[in-house]
Amino acid sequence: MVASAAGAAPGPRSRNRHRFGSDRLRRRRGLPAPPAEHSGRRVAARPASAEPGPREADDRAIPPAVRPAATHRRGLRVPGGQGPPGTSAQQVDPRFTAERDPAHRGRAQGARGDGLPGVTEDEAGTPFTIERVSVIIPCLNAAATLGAQLEALSRQTWRGEIEVLVADNGSTDGSSELAASWHDRLPGLRVLHAAERKGPAHARNVAAAAATGDVLLFCDADDEVADGWIDGLLPELERHEAAASRHEIERLNGEQARRLHGDPAQQHGLCSYTNPSFLDHAGGCGLGVRRHVFEELGGFDEEYVALEDTDLCWRLQLGGHRLVFAPEAVVHVRFPATLADAFRQAARYGQYNVYIYTRYRSRGMPRLPALPGLLRLGSLLLRTPQLLSRLARGRFVWLAGWRLGRLRGCLRYRTIAF
């Protein structure tokens, strides 16, 4: 479905929509609909000369680079597949096509009668119910902080089934062994090997493919979820396809780190892409997504080393889904501890900001103007004595890393993003 500019409620959804969006993918590929006796529902034939519907017309106008279905995600494919003429010569990664336990397919079907956006019901009028959640933690050499996150998860009071999936991306510091030691306190804990490809996107995808919950709740190994975090997210996920947690920065960060990073937008709402504006997004630490929607989107794009969460949020919204803010779901986030760590993080963000621009500029993503940032960097250089203060040094290091990353991204992806 197409997101309405006026915020109109979406139309009725197929009862089997969560099964990887098969009807949607079939329409995009130009394949005929299956016989009614095969699909289990009536199929209304459309004359061959009929004009495409709004969603079909919109999908044809979307370049493959940003089309929000699983069929284009390079990081989620396996080679060697053969398809009908005009389709990709690759197959969707079998991680997201394995048969699921019918008891845990997700129960969001149909359309709610009161017209609330994003709220769905099955044919019997039953609202989306969540009986099991899958908490996913990507992990790489996080032995120093992972225990605190697992401790925080053990204090969650939600009464349904909770499974915790720790996806180890190749740790050498004993993170996997530490996680496994929590089996007694977290009965639903599983530790997964996810080192075939580096990056949190791959680790999260491996865990999501093994998940059995109705919703996927992502958090990071170096943060801590607050008490009641799951209870704060699930009411929004019963009403909408995705929800973002509120970030709290006081508990795990000193004054210097807080000043360096300023006032993160996700303390008060979704992150806004501004100056000029584009779609809202949210960080992956504390993001909740209905599992069938995540699978329909094809998971995280593993080409990203950073901003993979932004990309997922944008594909989700371009696919007609709702991303909302859940202020009652709190995550205590941890900032980089040293200037060197801050510089490396800023450089990654800068580089992948250019990459994401190459993927979304055809959908209206604007270039970030270079002048404001260069003026801030120049003002710090002109006032050299102020660099003696830790705050000024931190600001300078962050801006320098961001600008260097942007330049590196322009060179690597052969584009001008300023």
pLDDT score recorded for residue 395: 77
Q: CA Rg, the chain, in Å?
A: 22
pLDDT score recorded for residue 223: 97
**Alpha carbon of residue 234 to chain centroid:** 17
Is the model's pLDDT at 11 over the cut of 50? no
pLDDT score recorded for residue 386: 52
Helix (H/G/I), strand (E/B), else coil: 38: helix
Confidence band (pLDDT; 50, 70, 90) for 117? very low
Nearest Cα neighbor of 135 from 102, 99, 73, 179 is 179
Enter the pTM of the model: 0.70
Q: Are 228 and 157 in contact (CB under 8 A)?
A: yes
Confidence band (pLDDT; 50, 70, 90) for 116? very low
Domain boundaries, given as residue ranges, for the chain? 132-332, 339-413
Confidence band (pLDDT; 50, 70, 90) for 390? low
Confidence band (pLDDT; 50, 70, 90) for 379? low
Q: Are 259 and 335 in contact (CB under 8 A)?
A: no
pLDDT score recorded for residue 398: 81
Nearest Cα neighbor of 13 from 213, 296, 205 is 296
In the block, residue with structure tokens 């599983």:
190
**Average pLDDT value for residue range 321-348:** 93
pLDDT score recorded for residue 36: 43
Tokens standing for 158? 């939600």
220-273 per-position pLDDT tens digit: 999 999 999 999 999 999 999 999 999 999 999 987 788 777 666 688 899 887
Tokens standing for 239? 């009403």
- CATH class label, 132-332: alpha beta
Main-chain phi, psi angles of 251, to 5 degrees: -65, -40
pLDDT score recorded for residue 180: 97
H or E element at residue 147:
helix 143-154
Q: Are 141 and 172 in contact (CB under 8 A)?
A: yes
